[in-house]
Every structure is written in C-alpha cells, then in structure tokens.
Amino acid sequence: MSNLKTITKDKFDAVLFDLDGVITATAKVHTVCWKKMFDEFLRRRPDEPFEPFNTKTDYPIHIDGKLREDGVRSFLQSRGIFLPEGDSAEPPGYETVHGLGKLKDQMFKEILHAEGVEVYEGAVELVKQLRGWGIKTAVVSASKNCKAVLEAAAIDHLFDVRVDGLVAQQLNLPGKPAPDKFLKAAQQLGVEPDRAVVVEDAISGVQAGRAGGFGLVVGVDRKGQSEELRKNGAHIVVSDPGELL
C-alpha cells in the first residue's frame, strides 16, 4: 500500500483536488448552512412532522460533492418533497429548488465574509511540493464560490486550472458522481486521465474519479467514512492529503 501513496513525476503528470474538505475546512461551514436552511424550510411545512436534516446521513448521501441544485433536489426527493425548479433570477428563499439553493449560498457567503477561510496545511504543503516537482495541479469543485474561497485563503495561485460550479454551469457539465468535471480539468491541463490523480473527500467525488478512469483516486477521510470511500472507488484512503508528502 505504501508505494501507492507515492505520487512521482514518472507516474503522474497532474493531481486534481476537490476543495471543500480536502484543501479548505469550508465543508464544515457548508454543512452548517445546509442544515440551517433545510431545517427552517421543513419547519414551515405544517402538515408534515418535523424531521431535521441529518448531517451524518443526509449530507454525505444527498449533498456532499454535488452541484447546489442537485443537492437540493436529491434531499427533498428523499423526503418525498417535489418543488418547482424556479430559476437563477429568483431571490434567495423562494420555495423552489433554485430559491432554496440561493438561500443556502447567501448563508455561506455571510460566514465566509465574517470569518474567512481555514486551510488544511498538509494539503497546501502537498500542492506546493507537487508543483515544485513539475506536476500540474487543478481544483475541481461543485461550489460556485470556489474562486472566492481560494482568494480568501490566498492559495488561488497554486492551481493551474479551476473547474467549479460556475464553469460547470457555463459548459453544461453534469456534477459528481459523473466524471465530466474531472475530465474537463485533465483536458485543460493537457494530461490523460490515467496519468492524473484525483483527491476527494466525498463519496460522489471518488465515484467520479473512478468512473473517469483516473490513474489513482485518493479518498480523504475526515468524517469516519473510510470504508465507504473505498467501496465507492478510492484506491487508497488517507486522513489528510499531507500523508502523501
């Protein structure tokens, strides 16, 4: 197993990183915002008993790693709730898929502005070391706030390519577990998937890495789900990307 953890220039040309939960600690903030938004919404439904959003089960299954509207849709469907799609011009809070997604996004931006961004130092050190070896790096995220988070953390210069929620929307790329965003990042870097590494903490993310035929899929277990990450496509699982140094 130890030799698999060695990322060297002779084996790989690029490493593609997820953002939230891998490089930055923003996954915790996203989880808090999703719970607050959904719980407020569910409490407003008087004809149904209130069953709160569960961060241990609902978040990894329905939300983690997915595009915002896909996450809203998936969770609501799990509760038998079907809302109109709405559109991106609606203000936050409308009881539509877009309206709820925008409300969660508003909550996230308020916390980001007030508290800034915490990074995982091990992950940042790994990115710097890889670049020092001449290995290309990209960030692949479902978040439409990816650029703002990278800039707030002052690490935007460490990535050659960024494929995020905004890019996915512009290019009409499906979200994880589809591999399209990772494949687009590899294409933009000019590398073949089997010569690239995917580093992900989401089950949908490791599924995407495996579906895309990437040479190595690394699961990052920060939530006690190492077995699930392995079952869903991770070749190896680490508790922090710094272990790959």
Strands (E) in the chain, as ranges, are: 14-17, 136-140, 161-163, 196-200, 216-220, 236-238
Query: Which pair of tokens denotes residue 92?
Result: 């936050």
Cα–Cα distance measured from residue 64 to residue 55, given in angstroms and rounded to the nearest whole number: 10
Measuring CA to CA, how many Å separate 113 from each of 116, 144, 193? 6, 15, 36
18 is catalytic: yes
71: phi then psi, degrees, rounded to nearest 5: -65, -45
Which residue in 18, 58, 180, 201 is the catalytic one? Answer: 18
Q: Is 160 part of the annotated catalytic residue set?
A: no
**C-beta contacts of 25-29 below 8 A and 24+ residues apart:** 25/117, 25/118, 25/119, 25/120, 26/112, 26/117, 26/118, 26/143, 26/149, 27/64, 27/201, 27/222, 29/108, 29/111, 29/112, 29/115
Q: From the candidates 10, 13, 20, 70, give the one annotated as an active-site residue.
A: 20
Sign of the CA dihedral with 201 first, then 93, 102, and 108 last:
negative
CA angle, corner 209, sides to 203 and 210, nearest 5? 90
Q: What is the rounded distance in angstroms from the CA atom of residue 163 to the CA atom of residue 59?
A: 22
Give the active site residues: 18, 20
